Structure 1
Amino acid sequence: MCTEIGKPINPRNLLRIFKILTEEADLPHIRFHDLRHTHAALMIFQNEPMKLIAERLGHSKITTTMDTYGHLLPNMQQDASDRLDQTIFGSSSPY
């Protein structure tokens, strides 16, 4: 990100602008870094490949991404089971 005249933006100014914009939009206060975690979580919930997520986050190893965001995956286990059930049986199984 850069200023209007093309110089690098001061990180403190970026944070100040971020705070102003979230207040003007009547959004709850979050840390700027939380945007990174939100981005990763949304990609996981969209079932994007973990390798792609790791690359976007700049992780050199997929294990770093899994260690950081793996806790979000158990919530997806039921969905995966339901999709497999639908594929095999064509309808929701009572099991």
Structure 2
Amino acid sequence: MRDPGLQPERTSLSWRRTAFSMLVVSLLLIRDALHAHQAWVSTTVLVIVGISSLSATIGLLRMRFLRTGGTAGAPHAVLIAFTTLMVCLAATAGLLLIVSAS
């Protein structure tokens, strides 16, 4: 039985906050990449922007699922694995940018 409480709304809001913060960071990275004039920095930033876009899309799909009162409580294992992989790739790319700036 599905819980009619506020959990779906909290989850939806957390996806929105995450997507917005990833958008802001992506825009700042794009600005810095334009000044760096190095191909690998631009490529790394594009990877991070792509991951941010995919993450926002997954969040949007999850929000729609929660709003429509989906019957399955947990997301599919493939979605969890894909999201985890994207977060790891974004973290690795971010660390690469930090190390290269030092």
TM-score normalized with structure 1 length: 0.29
Point out the structure with max Rg over C-alpha.
1
Q: For CA contacts below 8 A with separation 6 or more, give which structure has more relative contact order.
A: 2
TM-score normalized with structure 2 length: 0.28
